[in-house]
Chain A
Amino acid sequence: EDKVVQSPLSLVVHEGDTVTLNCSYEVTNFRSLLWYKQEKKAPTFLFMLTSSGIEKKSGRLSSILDKKELSSILNITATQTGDSAIYLCAYSGGSNYKLTFGKGTLLTVNP
């Protein structure tokens, strides 16, 4: 069965720290990997990764995909309290383009 595993499940850091969140996947028909940030209910889109080794950046956030290792990382530099959220990793594959999610990483940034 296809699955996505995220680590760590939770993480507490201080403002200004840099964090790395991990996502590994086992899929039979990979198309893309996506990262979302979930603060209350609505997951908000961060990145979609389709090609291995190409880093995507948005401000202090960046992400990269490693198709050989079947994994992806999400980096957040100079963390702020507003970065506190659940970060969800999901892959898209198969013929229906549904997303299969991991359980998420709960990030808490303390002042």
Chain B
Amino acid sequence: GAGVSQTPSNKVTEKGKYVELRCDPISGHTALYWYRQSLGQGPEFLIYFQGTGAADDSGLPNDRFFAVRPEGSVSTLKIQRTERGDSAVYLCASSSERGDTQYFGPGTRLTVL
């Protein structure tokens, strides 16, 4: 079956702009996670959804970052007033139930100029 998909695969933007990154999880998966990976580092947790609600957003670095999952399937990560330090690969993962294996999408490489 189809895996986790993310769009766009690459996004280049200018400092101060707004961006949206989309994640389409595996069909039927109720848990969805966003991670951010900088060069030479492992992925770092940003936010976890169980269904439509954000069960844990403790990893979001500041209030410029926000994520939604209005219908319990597709999720959008939104970044306002982007900064050069936001440049990274943003990974999305989903699992069938919380605690089950997380399967990752191909990521979105965000570059802020």
Interface residue ranges, A against B (CB under 8 Å): 4, 31-32, 34, 36, 40-45, 48, 88, 90, 92, 95-104
Contact = CB atoms under 8 A, between A and B. Distances in A.
A40 B91 CA distance: 12
A85 to B, nearest CB: 13
Interface string B20-48: 00000000000101010000111111001
B45 A100 contact: yes
Contact of B41 (A48, A90, A95, A103): A103
Nearest to A6: B42
Interface of B: 31, 33, 35, 40-45, 48, 55-56, 58-59, 89, 91, 93, 95, 98-99, 101-107, 109
16 contacts: A34-B101, A41-B109, A45-B103, A90-B42, A96-B55, A96-B58, A96-B98, A97-B31, A97-B95, A98-B56, A98-B59, A99-B43, A99-B93, A101-B42, A102-B42, A103-B41
A15 to B, nearest CB: 26
Given A88-B42, A103-B40, A97 B98 contact: yes
Main secondary structure of the interface of A (DSSP, over half): strand
A72 B31 CA distance: 26
Contacts of B42: 4, 88, 90, 101-104
Which of A32, A41, A92 lies at the interface centre, i.e. has the most chain B CB atoms within 10 A of its CB? Answer: A41
A82 to B, nearest CB: 18
B91 A43 contact: yes
B104 A43 contact: yes
Given A42-B91, A42-B104, A48-B101, A96 B44 contact: no
